[in-house]
Amino acid sequence: MQASVNIIIVEGGVVREPELKYTSDGLAYTRFPVANNCFSFKNGEKGEDVSYFDISAWGKLAEICSTYLKKGKKIIVSGKLRQSRWKTQEGQNRSAVQIVAQDIKFLPSKKKYSAANA
């Protein structure tokens, strides 16, 4: 069976600062959520939909994220989707989808200009 295409790109703001952790083998990893705002139109009214995506980063990318990403920072994440599946203690099936980051672009902060800077 051939591998299928699995690529995702999301732009958004960091919701919580990444916390760097290490596996038992010493591999660095971090997880953090990103909020993505999209405009929508319902009944002719402009609205905004917010989606939250869980991001995981590994190795050097995880170390960079834990050093430089702060809450509110705008980023573009490209990576692949990964689904985790498990059973609860009660025997119920659960699953979650996260984005495994392969590249993260840090977007510039919006500078506030006053009339004196114009």
User: From start to end of the chain, where are the E strands?
Assistant: 8-14, 21-22, 28-42, 45-58, 74-87, 93-106
What per-residue confidence (pLDDT) applies to 2? 84
| Residue 95 is assigned to a structural domain of this protein | yes
CB 54 within 8 A of CB 8: no
In a domain, 20, yes or no: yes
At 52, the pLDDT band (50, 70, 90 cuts) reads very high
| 1 occurs within a structural domain | no
Could you tell me if residue 113 is inside a domain?
A: no
Please indicate, yes or no, if residue 46 is contained in any of the structural domains. Answer: yes
- Average pLDDT score over residue span 18-23: 96
pLDDT tops 60 at residue 114: no
Q: What is the pTM for the complete model shown?
A: 0.82
Q: For the domain that residue 12 is a member of, what is the CATH number?
A: 2.40.50.140
Mean of per-residue pLDDT scores for the chain: 91
Mean pLDDT score, 97-108: 96
The answer to the question of residue 115 being in a domain is no
- Beta strand 8-14 pairing with 45-58: unpaired
Total count of domains within the chain:
1
Average pLDDT, integer, range 96-113: 87
Say if 67 falls within a structural domain.
Answer: yes
Q: Does some domain include residue 29? A: yes
Please give the residue range of the domain that contains residue 19.
Answer: 8-107
Long-range Cβ contact pairs of 93-99 (< 8 A, separation 24 or more): 96/54, 97/54, 98/31, 98/53, 98/54, 98/55, 98/56, 99/8, 99/10, 99/53, 99/54, 99/55, 99/56
